[in-house]
Structure 1
Amino acid sequence: MGRPRGFDEEAVTRQAVALFSARAYDGLSVDDLVTGLGVHRNSLYKTFGSKRGLYLTVLRWYLRHKLEPALSSDTAQLQENDTLDLLLLAAAEQAPHDREVGALVGSALARLDDVLGPDAANQLLGLRLRARINTGE
């Protein structure tokens, strides 16, 4: 029988959302993740399989627990500083060459269009992108 997991997978996933939202996939090394999440490298690989496995877990968690609630109830929450960041970074960085990420991002963008309308969704995404550029986030 193996040792029990020494970390809360849900808590680590939430922490990883913040890391990937701030620095994107390519901006984080596995060492950065290990340090930032406070988990051992072996535990990270055993639980998520790879950096990409962690990223996919994080992206799915974010879409289900952060983006969808904002779309379903309080679209004003979408204007908060970081609500759209992971979606923006995933769309720009990983979706063009990772089919699975592309499908997740495409579905999320379609949902955003359905709730806000394409023009408002594009405007909101553009404003958040500009805000990240202007503040250096």
Structure 2
Amino acid sequence: MGRPRGFDEEAVTRAAVALFASRAYDGLSVDDLVTGLGVHRNSLYKTFGSKRGLYLTALRWYLRHEVAPLLDTAPDTEALLREGPRLDLLLLAAAEQAPLDAEVGTLIAAVLRRLDEVLGPDAANRLLGLRLRARIHTGE
């Protein structure tokens, strides 16, 4: 029988969301993740399989628990702009990983379609563009 897990998987997943939203997938090494999450490398690999496995787990959690409720409760551009930082992982995943990883692409495309439904394509594009500009301007 294996040793019991020494960390809360959901807490680690939420922390991974924050890390990936701040530095993106390619901006984080496994060492960065181990340090930032406070888990041992072996535990990370045993639980999530790989850096990509952790990323997908974090992305799915984020889309389900952060983005979906946001789109359900803030149906206009201005309200979503006030929640800007909560959209950062969506923005980074769309720009960085969706073009390279079909699974990420499928997840992000579904959310972007929902964003288009909620706001309309022009407003959705404006929202993401403004959030991108805010990240560049403030260095977040």
Shared fold per TM-score greater than 0.5: yes
* Structural mapping, 1:5-16, within 5 Å: 5-16=5-16
2:83 aligned partner, one-letter code: E
1:21 aligned partner, one-letter code: A
Matching residue of 2:20 = 20
1:124 aligned partner, one-letter code: L
Q: Does 1:32 align with 2:32?
A: yes
Q: How far 1:80 moved relative to its partner?
A: 1.9
TM, length-normalised to structure 2: 0.95
Q: Decide whether the 8 Å contact of 1:79 with 1:124 is kept in 2.
A: no
TM, length-normalised to structure 1: 0.97
Give the Cα separation in 1 of the matches to 2:106 and 2:113: 10
1:83 aligned partner, one-letter code: R
Q: Does 1:110 align with 2:113?
A: yes
Alignment: residue pair count = 137
Alignment match of 1:94 (pick from 93, 97, 102): 97
Structure 1 segments of 4+ aligned residues over 4 angstroms from their partners: none
* Structural mapping, 1:65-104, within 5 Å: 65-75=65-75, 76-77=79-80, 79-104=82-107
User: 2:130 is paired with a residue of what secondary structure?
Assistant: helix
Q: Deviations over 1:45-69 (max 9, x none)?
A: 0000000000000110000000000
Give the Cα separation in 2 of the matches to 1:32 and 1:63: 23
Matching residue of 2:59 = 59
Q: Deviations over 1:78-131 (max 9, x none)?
A: 532311100110011111110000000100100100111111111110100000
